[in-house]
Structure 1
């Protein structure tokens, strides 16, 4: 990996994998694939429709310098905010749902847009996550804005904070390497090793 940020982000993601070494090796072999990671170990994910998630992302980034990792699809229909483990079990929002223990999230290599998925905010490698209380307040604020309100943030897919062409080497072997399903695909049928 040539970029230190990419390397530390991959190491952090790999720590959530059942086999961290094989996870890294998958991305070393092919950084243009998505891999499957279990939620609930190091993080949960709050999933939102894009019409709420993108404006919430805009509000969140105006309130704090660096939110935790945020995933989005390239079509702007879904966003996923990485939050502390255990949040999904307590999440009760109507416009959002939580993915925690027993669910899996498809992720692209940091710095890459793969399979219609990209990082709006890639992992920082240090474990920074979005504060779920702040996220809940921001989601309520955005959901309460009337449609067409000039005060509403523009619903526009932000530019990723890292170049999409940055180098990446790392990778969950045998779990779902090369998975092309949307990142919000969740399955409770998979078991952790």
Structure 2
């Protein structure tokens, strides 16, 4: 927080696994999960969105990546292939400055850290157990409200059509 206050418009590339790990998911999924976290009155920590990728990175406590698979296994995550990734040591993520970024910057805050939600100089991070549960709930809600594309509706209609009897 001190470094950001000194140069609030300066983005940084920070290594994960030291002061935080990151959970990567679609921006829509993270936004909905954050809404659910707020409903449950849980801590909502900093998260960034990569504007050119429609992806968001939630900052979680270091060590989360090592136990992410177990956390996901304990939820009702329906589609295991769509589970958000969690990155720990050996990776890095671009973090924007605290000042509003210039247009066209590929990363900005979805939820900026604030002095009000900090312990000392470190912002509170989103708790991984609550995050994975809310991500699973958000995924379930998004899947049930998905409007299918015309192509997927056509494929479903073709698959559902009864086969005509074959002539010999």
Q: TM-score range by the shorter chain?
A: 0.5 to 0.7
The structure with the largest alpha-carbon Rg is: 2
Structure-2-length-normalised TM-score: 0.64
- Structure 2 distance, partners of 1:132, 1:56, is 12
Question: In the alignment, what sits opposite 1:50?
Answer: 27
- Structure 2 distance, partners of 1:134, 1:73, is 23
Q: Which runs of 4+ in 1 moved over 3 A?
A: none
Q: Map of 1:1-193 to 2, 5 A cutoff?
A: 9-11=1-3, 27=7, 31=9, 33-64=10-41, 66-74=43-51, 77-92=54-69, 93=72, 94-114=82-102, 115-125=105-115, 126=118, 127=122, 128-145=124-141, 146-148=143-145
Deviation sequence 1:75-124 (CA, Å, 0-9, x none): 57111111110001221244211121111110110132352211122123
- Structure 1 distance, partners of 2:87, 2:44, is 18
In the alignment, structure 1 segments of 5+ residues that lack a partner are 1-8, 15-23, 150-193
- Structure 2 distance, partners of 1:76, 1:56, is 18
In the alignment, structure 2 segments of 5+ residues that lack a partner are 73-81, 147-168
Q: Paired residues, what number? A: 127
What is the CA RMSD across the aligned residues, in angstroms? 2.7
Report which stretch shifted further, 119-128 or 41-50. 119-128
